Structure 1
Amino acid sequence: MARKICVLVLSTLFATSLYSQKTLQLEECRQMAIAHNKSIQIAQENVKVAQQYKQAAFTQFFPNFSANAAYTWNQKNVSLLAEDAYLPVYSLNANGTPNYGASWNNSWTVVNGTPVPLDANGKPFNPSTSPDKIEWKNKALLPKEAMEFDMKNVFVGTIGFTQPIFMGGKIKALYDIAKYGEHLASAQQENKMTELLQEVDEDYWRVVSLESKVALAKEYKGLIAKMDSDIRTMVDEGVATKADALKVRVKLNEADVALTKAEDGLNLSRMALNQVCGMPLDEQYRLADQSLDTKAVEPQLIPIDQALANRPEIKALTQMQSIAKANQKAMFSRFLPNIALTGNYLVSNPNSFNGFETKFGGMFTVGVVANIPLFHFGDKLHTLNAAKSQYRIATLQLQEAKEKMELQIKQSSYKTAESIKKQTTTQHNIDQAVENLRYATEGFEAGVITSTDLLAAQTAWLSAKSENIDAIIDVKLCNLYLEKSLGTLKAPATNNTIKK
């Protein structure tokens, strides 16, 4: 009685554990993998980086404001005179014209009817060519200190802007490069997402396949175990030999080894799926597709041009081609002049805007700056030729990728169609193997078929079942690879994906 209660309790606990296991859909595995995968997170951050670079490039269309300040201490002041200066003083006539004659002490004489001044030696001279011989009556003193300026403490500050007017298309080309860089980062993120989805699907269907293989191995072991029990009874009754019993025992051992291998493979595959989904390695769960759907669905094909447009690899190469084209324009812009509008407000202490004052004073300035490149030994020409070659390389890479992907689409479609045919064939083989096993079992029980024939029928049944499982999984994977080649393998909508 106690033994029955113990068995009942264990059965209840086992059933409860099975019931409590969560069931995972394929889409749930994809979402968990996307949320956990570090490469996807890095790709998302790269998109954000590219977006910031694009916004930074857009700001170059606007004026650049800046402020500068400086302080300088000088050991000496600035003096415009080396010594005291004496300035001549002259009188004015009634009409306001200078009266030099009344302001000079020189003696005068008449030469050819014209008054001419005499120097200190009594010789006539021309005051225009020899002003040093003039003897002024009065002179004003200009002391050296009057022309000395306090420059020991100098404060200077400016605030202004520079507005690009024409840069040869350089700013537009750099903005285009940043914009295409953002699109490139998005395409690379999409490509990483597609690769991750393929990895998740492969691990998912591998687990489904091995679960089916484990169930099949258990069923096969049950058949052999029943036959082993029957053959022992027949040996006891003398209608079978020990050799027959040994052959069945060997098959039973082989079935036990095959079951162990299948269970080990299932555990390892489940760990791989747990790792990619970010779950604990030893976590147990049920898969929604654990019971394989034997109905094969024909894939939906789309035009080649549309498939190529869907592929993230083509999107990335297209953006690289656009970046190379924009870089070519940027290199060409180096041949063109650069024109900018500038405006500034300058303040200084001391200042000379109203005499020389040791206080702050300022003024506004507005101007246009132009830079025209003339000659630099072919530097700009070489960089332009290099940019043209880079554009041609990007174009050739894009064309080559399209050709290879078109071949990949054709191959994937053929393999998918072949896998569907194979699944249909293996399903028919199962029907025949089941019927053959039924006849062999009935014949063995009736004593008209040997144990060897029954074992052969059981082995054929196992092989047909196993091949059908492989065929069903192959259809799933071929459809997966076809979706990837057509560019229709998309990530599920989650909060972790970045909106384009």
Structure 2
Amino acid sequence: MRKLYVLLLSLALSSLSSRATSATDDGALTLDSCRQLALQHNKALQMSQLGIDKAREIHAAARTNYLPKISGVAAYVHTGDELSILTTDQKSALTNLGSQLGAGFSPEFMQRVQQLVAAHPDLAPLVQRAQQTGAALQQGLNGVGRDLAQRFETDTRNVAVGAVLFTQPLYMGGKIRAYDRITGYAEQLAGEKLRADRQEVILSVDKAYWQVVSLTHKTRLATAYRDMLQHLDGDVQKMVKEGVATRANALSVSVELNKAEMTLMRAEDGLSLSRMLLAQLCGLPIDTTLHLVDERLSDLPTSTAGVQADAETAMGARPELRQLGLAQSIYAEKVKVERAAFLPTLALTGGYGMTYPSMFNGFEKKLKGTWSVGLLLKVPIWEWGEGKHKVAAAKADAAVAGLQLQEAREKITLQVNQTALAVNQAVKKLALTEKSQSRAEENLRMARVGFKEGVVTTSDLLAAQTAWLAAQSDKIDAQIDIRIARAVYNKALGQ
């Protein structure tokens, strides 16, 4: 049973799909299909979508400010001379430490030693050993001095440092949170801009679509009027030959025929330009020949129901109001950002650093390092009132944004009432044009009958035909006006 249900469902979907395909096989476009084409290919909408992507990335970047930042740094320096802890004299003194000690014995002391050896020859070996020991001691002290002097050499002609550092904000005066909210509001603002642009594109497509439909019907009307005058011109020419009409009657008909041909030419040119505009809005080449479904209708079905101004719906749906509301929130957060710039900030810092030469155990030709951790506190002390003035300026911007929102609400309320009135006026105009059309048709019928019977002049028949043309044109305008007025009203409601 389940398999049978799935099979029937598949057949039903296939049937619906084939019907949808057959409905568009002739290439005729509906209003909805034109809208979809425009929404897919419109460059302004594509730019707005990229604006949303950009705002999303900026918001994501702002949220990273809550996290610690880790960075690495390294440097190498080669100098011509190394740093020296000891002076040149101190190095020389250490190198000749033993010699200087031996030179400390005075000549008088050496003379007395020689006198002592001369008086006591048995002490000569002892003195000789003492002299040998002193010489060895001098050499040893000289070596110790040289080694000590070498150990004081820094070898800083080649210096390298490297470190990995991290910084974790602990308190930034509320700046990070405020910036996070600002970028979040900016992302929502970009979304509302896209929605507003979509509504604007849809309205532009609606106007262009119904303009094409209007000019198509007017072209047909102009063609019918031209054909009517051509038929009348032929009849009048026959009547002139038969002597029942004058040459002036024929000329008046000929003049009206020329006017009708000019009107038809202007209508065709306007229709071509309107098709180009619609093709451009739909993202198609402007030389594309568009065929619309509503062009085929001999009479446009039009709703004659009036509307009531619904300002409350507009207040909650208009993207412009949402944008201004978000802008007001952004300016309120900017006040916090300006205030945070003059509040204390606290951050946790740390890292691991290495140096060459190493100085942890004297100067060693080794690369060694150690870790560190600490707190960084910054407290503004005196800024000459700069923070106060900047906060006041930011508050002024926020107040301006609030006033702009109030003004926009008032203007949108007025716009909703105006567009609703335009719809109702278009409905009334259609009712009047329908009455005028029926009367013009009856007047033309009676004029034709009277003209055939010879009781109506050519001028009266031309006047009746002109009145019929005006009535038909007014009806087409009224039908199109209702469509466009409803589209404008829906946009005013934010739909």
Aligned residues: 417
Which aligned segments of 4 or more residues in structure 1 are displaced greater than 6 angstroms?
none
Give CA-to-partner distance per residue, 1:202-248, whole Å, 9 cap, x none. 22111111111110011112222222222233333333333333322
The equivalent residue for 1:64 is 69
Q: In the alignment, which of 275, 282, 289 is matched to residue 287 of structure 2? A: 282
- For 1:275, give the aligned amino acid: Q
1:223 aligns with 2:236: no
Offset of 1:344 from its aligned partner?
0.6
1:150 aligns with 2:155: yes
Instruction: Say whether the 8 Å CA contact 1:21–1:284 is kept in structure 2.
Output: no
1:365 aligns with 2:369: no
Deviates more, 1:382-391 or 1:291-300: 291-300
Give CA-to-partner distance per residue, 1:264-310, whole Å, 9 cap, x none. 22122222222222323332232111124243243665742331222
- For 2:239, give the aligned amino acid: M
Unaligned runs of 5+ in 1: 1-18, 87-139, 489-500
- Shift in CA distance, 146/224, structure 1 to aligned 2, threshold 3 Å: closer
Deviates more, 1:424-433 or 1:276-285: 276-285
Unaligned runs of 5+ in 2: 1-23, 95-140
Q: d(CA) in 2 for partners of 1:153 and 1:192?
A: 63
Instruction: Say whether the 8 Å CA contact 2:355–2:367 is kept in structure 1.
Output: yes
Which has the larger share of helix?
Answer: 2
The equivalent residue for 2:447 is 440
The equivalent residue for 1:379 is 386
1:389 aligns with 2:396: yes
The equivalent residue for 1:350 is 357
Q: In the alignment, which of 212, 216, 241 is matched to residue 246 of structure 2? A: 241
The equivalent residue for 1:251 is 256
- For 2:445, give the aligned amino acid: R
- Shift in CA distance, 353/446, structure 1 to aligned 2, threshold 3 Å: same
- Shift in CA distance, 411/68, structure 1 to aligned 2, threshold 3 Å: same
Q: In the alignment, which of 467, 473, 479 is matched to residue 466 of structure 1? A: 473
- 1:98-497 matches, within 5 Å, as 143-290=148-295, 291=297, 292-298=299-305, 303-488=310-495
- Shift in CA distance, 144/355, structure 1 to aligned 2, threshold 3 Å: closer
Give CA-to-partner distance per residue, 1:466-497, whole Å, 9 cap, x none. 11111111111111111111111xxxxxxxxx
The equivalent residue for 2:28 is 23
Q: d(CA) in 2 for partners of 1:316 and 1:37?
A: 22
The equivalent residue for 2:117 is none
Offset of 1:34 from its aligned partner?
3.0
Offset of 1:372 from its aligned partner?
1.0
Which has the larger share of strand?
Answer: 1
- For 1:245, give the aligned amino acid: A
The equivalent residue for 2:45 is 40
Instruction: Say whether the 8 Å CA contact 1:302–1:486 is kept in structure 2.
Output: no
Give CA-to-partner distance per residue, 1:379-428, whole Å, 9 cap, x none. 21211111111111111111111111111111110111001110111011
- Shift in CA distance, 242/365, structure 1 to aligned 2, threshold 3 Å: same
Q: TM-score, normalised by structure 2?
A: 0.79
Give CA-to-partner distance per residue, 1:299-331, whole Å, 9 cap, x none. 665742331222222122122111111110101
Among all aligned residue pairs of Structure 1 and Structure 2, give the percentage whose two residues are the same amino acid.
Answer: 41
Aligned-CA RMSD value: 2.2
Q: d(CA) in 2 for partners of 1:219 and 1:44?
A: 47
The equivalent residue for 1:106 is none
Q: d(CA) in 2 for partners of 1:387 and 1:32?
A: 43
- For 2:448, give the aligned amino acid: T
The equivalent residue for 1:53 is 58
Q: d(CA) in 2 for partners of 1:156 and 1:20?
A: 75
- For 2:373, give the aligned amino acid: V
Q: d(CA) in 2 for partners of 1:435 and 1:309?
A: 50
